[in-house]
Amino acid sequence: LILGRYFFLGLGLSFAGTTTSIVSYFLAHLIILTALGIAAIMVGVTAATLPEQVSGSYAMKVLLRGSTLGIDPLLDKILERRQNNIERLNSSKAANPPPSPPSSQHYLHDLESEVEEERMESISSTQENILSAVYLPPVFESNASRGAAQGDQRASVYVSLTDRIPDTLQEMLAAPTTLLDENGGQQQQEGIRIFTPGAYLGEVKEIRIEDIGIEEALQYILVESAELCSTVRASEIEDTIVVEMNDVRVQSESETYRHLLGSLPTSLAASVVAVVRGSPVIITNEEITPTRNIARLSILEIGEE
Amino acid sequence: VKLRWTENENIGGDEKDLLGRRSRKVLRETNNVFLLTLAALSFGSVISLAALGEAIFTVYLALLAIVYFATTLVFRVKRRPSFDFLAVVLAIVFVWSIVSYII
């Protein structure tokens, strides 16, 4: 029996309540004190049977570690391929600097896309590693019938193998789920779609309620179901969601996983947000301390087609 | 974009809140709120009945049982062991108190 935090407090309260009840009922004949004693027993027994603070049980740690184990070799290869591609791209850029665009091309860009590009560039320069991963929402039949994409009810993660992210959700969903051979004649693979432990979150009905809040959904998955942390809070400012997870004691993912996809709790949080919002999500920042994790997620405003 | 602590402190409200950070931390845990609610309701109900001059012991027992069932139903906290023997005892006490009062 694993003793909870309030076990001894509860035991003491129960003992005091029992003594009070017996003495009051049989010797003093005081109904009120007897009732108070019984109330103390009730609270004491309840306190004694409450388990330790819900946070990262060992069984859950083992299960989650096992679930990420399968994709670790693939992630290692992805990381290697990505670094090679970026190095190759940088060396070719240094050898052949791109010519300055003609002035007429400036008029072809509309202001909105320019701002978006600038935003993406500024984020990329700060958190390049985690930004390579875009958490994609599952595509349900209702969306698929509208031609958004082929119905795939699994939430996936698009990992870019180059320095760019596709412009549309369709392109990301169409990415291969394996690493293709690097042949000289073939076109370079832009990215890969992988599946994390949060792949089937779209099947959880509790987080697919129409007006469910992000915090409520995160609370249900991370705290109540997975027991990854004791509490979770979410704050939304425009397209950015700041997620704060307290007492995260499960650091079960591999170094490569954390490098490419973020820590496991944050990765799951990003999958939850993608499912709830139905939009691609990126982790722009993550701060891990011994007592809490703070992640900043951005919802990508990209076209479906 | 480096996230600073000062930005995050505003997530849960003003830092100069009367409750303070520690109190808020305690109240964020469901187990703590459950225990506090159960204690407040059970002791509160006994004191209220005493203030009203109630002298029948079974009334106290029945109310305590109701308070317990209502609180556990609302909070649905996990227990260890999962079998709630206190609920069984209180149910028996509740039935016995009602039956004995009627008879």
**pLDDT tens digits, one per residue of A221-259:** 888 777 778 788 888 888 889 999 887 766 666 788 888
**pLDDT tens digits, one per residue of A273-285:** 999 988 899 998 8
CA distance A165 to A119: 13
Contact A294 B80 (CB under 8 A): no
Q: Which residue of A has its CA nearest to B7?
A: A242
The pLDDT of residue A260 is above 60:
yes
| Lowest model confidence (mean pLDDT) among A90-99, A215-224, A225-234, A295-304 | A90-99
What percentage of chain A exceeds 90 in pLDDT? 14
In chain B, what residues touch A35 (CB-CB under 8 Å)? 46, 49-50, 57, 60-61, 64
The pLDDT of residue A126 is above 90:
no
In chain A, what residues touch B79 (CB-CB under 8 Å)? 49-51
The pLDDT of residue A41 is above 90:
yes
Q: Band of the pLDDT at A77, cuts 50, 70, 90?
A: confident
**pLDDT tens digits, one per residue of B4-54:** 333 344 444 444 554 565 666 566 667 788 889 999 999 999 999 999 998
Mutate to test the interface with B, among A25, A38, A223, A284 (most CBs of B within 10 A): A38
Contact A36 B46 (CB under 8 A): yes
What does the pLDDT read at residue B19?
A: 54
Q: Band of the pLDDT at A173, cuts 50, 70, 90?
A: confident
Tally of CB atoms within 10 A around A62: 12
Residues of A with CB under 8 A from a CB of B: 1-2, 4, 6, 31-32, 34-36, 38-39, 42-43, 45-47, 49-51, 53-54, 123, 126-127, 230-231, 233, 235, 242, 244, 246, 284-285, 287, 294, 296
Average pLDDT over chain A, rounded to whole? 77
What does the pLDDT read at residue A112?
A: 43
In chain A, what residues touch B38 (CB-CB under 8 Å)? 42-43, 46
Contact A42 B61 (CB under 8 A): no
In chain B, what residues touch A242 (CB-CB under 8 Å)? 3, 7-8, 11
**Rounded mean pLDDT of A34-49?**
91
Side chain identity at residue B80, one-letter code: R
**pLDDT tens digits, one per residue of B50-100:** 999 988 888 898 899 999 999 988 887 777 666 788 889 889 988 887 888
Report which of residues A146 and A179 the model is more confident about.
A179
What does the pLDDT read at residue A176?
A: 85
Q: Band of the pLDDT at A142, cuts 50, 70, 90?
A: low
Contact A123 B1 (CB under 8 A): yes
**Rounded mean pLDDT of A7-35?**
91
**Rounded mean pLDDT of A57-80?**
80
Q: Band of the pLDDT at A304, cuts 50, 70, 90?
A: low
What pTM was computed for the model?
Answer: 0.59
Distances (CA, A) of B44 to A175, B47, B49, B91: 62, 5, 9, 20
Residue among A2, A244, A284 minimizing CB distance to B11: A244
Residue B81: asked if its preceding bond is cis (omega within 30°), the reply is yes
In the sheet that holds A231-237, the strands lie side by side as A191-194, A156-160, A133-136, A281-288, A292-299, A240-246, A231-237
3-state secondary structure of A300: coil
In chain A, what residues touch B68 (CB-CB under 8 Å)? 42, 46
Nearby residues of A246 by Cβ (< 8 Å), 6 or more positions away: A229, A230, A231, A232, A291, A292, B25, B28
Contact A50 B31 (CB under 8 A): yes
Contact A32 B50 (CB under 8 A): yes
Can you tell me which residue has the tokens 């992000």?
A: A214
What does the pLDDT read at residue A272?
A: 92
Distances (CA, A) of A46 to A3, A22, A92, A162: 13, 20, 68, 56
Mutate to test the interface with B, among A32, A54, A239, A294 (most CBs of B within 10 A): A32
In chain A, what residues touch B34 (CB-CB under 8 Å)? 50
The pLDDT of residue A12 is above 90:
yes
The pLDDT of residue A104 is above 50:
no
**Rounded mean pLDDT of A186-204?**
83
Residue among A31, A43, A123 minimizing CB distance to B38: A43
Contact A296 B42 (CB under 8 A): no
For the ranges A100-104, A251-255, A261-265, A295-299, the maximum mean pLDDT occurs at A295-299
The pLDDT of residue A99 is above 90:
no
The pLDDT of residue A56 is above 50:
yes
Contact B80 A45 (CB under 8 A): no
Q: Which residue of B has its CA nearest to A2?
A: B80
**Rounded mean pLDDT of A184-202?**
80
What does the pLDDT read at residue A183?
A: 64
Side chain identity at residue A29, one-letter code: H
What percentage of chain A exceeds 70 in pLDDT? 75
